[in-house]
Amino acid sequence: MPYPIDKKFVIAVSSSALFDLTESDSIFKVKGVDAYRKYQDDNINKPFEKGVAFPFIKRLLNLNNSFPEEQPIEVVLFSKNSPESGLRAFRSIQHYGLNISRAYFSSGKSHFRFLPAFNATLFLSANEKDTKDAIKAGFAAGTVLNTKVIDDDEDKELRLAFDFDGVIADDTSEKFYQESNGDMPKYFKHEKDLASNPLAGGPIGTLLQKISFFQKLEKRKVDSDKNYKRILSTTIVTARNAPAHERVVTTLKSLDIEVDGVFFLGGIDKSRILNILKPHIFFDDQMVHLDHLDKIPAVHIPFGVANKDN
């Protein structure tokens, strides 16, 4: 019997994150809502191009194939379109064979307050204001950035990469660093003294917890079926380095999170790692690490002290 919604791992995604709506948005901004609706109606059978979140969403849904009885993964479409304008998005979903059946069309109104009704662990949108409002209201949300999507259908693995502070963990350490005016020796001493004290979970710590749970289930499947190929791969890519590294491990243990790898970069440009790792999605709370990425599906988490001026 399928899991009820309150026991599923649910991601809410906007049509602007799942698909490339650049042309549609341009018509809306220049010609207005009536022209936008007519454009969608005239092109209703023309599928949207894939958006930034598409490779992540497609592969996440494929995880249901590993657990066919439970079907534990659910994706819900959250859209500010009217129901009639949203028909093209659903036809595009059907065109690409995505198992998405639930949706909310809000006809231009704010919609994030309904996330708990769908038990959503994360809300992804291309609308920066929507994700900021959701974060302020206490929901896990991220803004997908406008990067070129390369989706290799032969690549069945789902690689996820995460920054640490302000993403998986809270931003307590980042606050201390800023309050110390970037005094690295003081920061390192602070983190070394607190190495055995885990940080609290950050805005999408729960997301990685749930992903880690499925990774553990996949490992069990490998033990019982040597032909099974794992789908999930998780990596932390953080600017921290020794002696501030130990607190990362302590925090992951406290959150019961296991990852496949951790890069302690000590200020090395993260793109040097990401361009080799080629994650299907990368989460970071600081735009300085995101605004120059090319062909890496990136998500900005507008959380905490790193975004206090935004």
- Which amino acid appears at position 32 of this protein? G
The answer to whether residue 163 is catalytic is yes
Q: What is the Cα–Cα distance from 304 to 100, expressed in whole angstroms?
A: 32
Tokens of 195: 């190495």
- Which amino acid appears at position 120 of this protein? A
Give the H or E element holding residue 213: helix 205-224
**With b meaning 16 or more CB within 10 Å and e meaning fewer, what string describes 137-161?**
eebbbbbbbeeebeeeeeeeebbbb
Alpha-carbon 47 to chain mean position: 23
**With b meaning 16 or more CB within 10 Å and e meaning fewer, what string describes 240-266?**
beeebbebbebbbeebebebeebbbbe
**With b meaning 16 or more CB within 10 Å and e meaning fewer, what string describes 18-41?**
bbbbeebeebbeeeeeeebbebbe
One-character DSSP codes across 221-285: HHHH-TT----EEEEEEES--TTSSHHHHHHHHHTT---SEEEE-TT--THHHHHHH--SEEEES
- Which amino acid appears at position 96 of this protein? Y
47, 91 Cβ separation under 8 angstroms: yes
Q: Which of 20, 163, 165, 170 is catalytic?
A: 163
Residue positions annotated with a catalytic role? 163
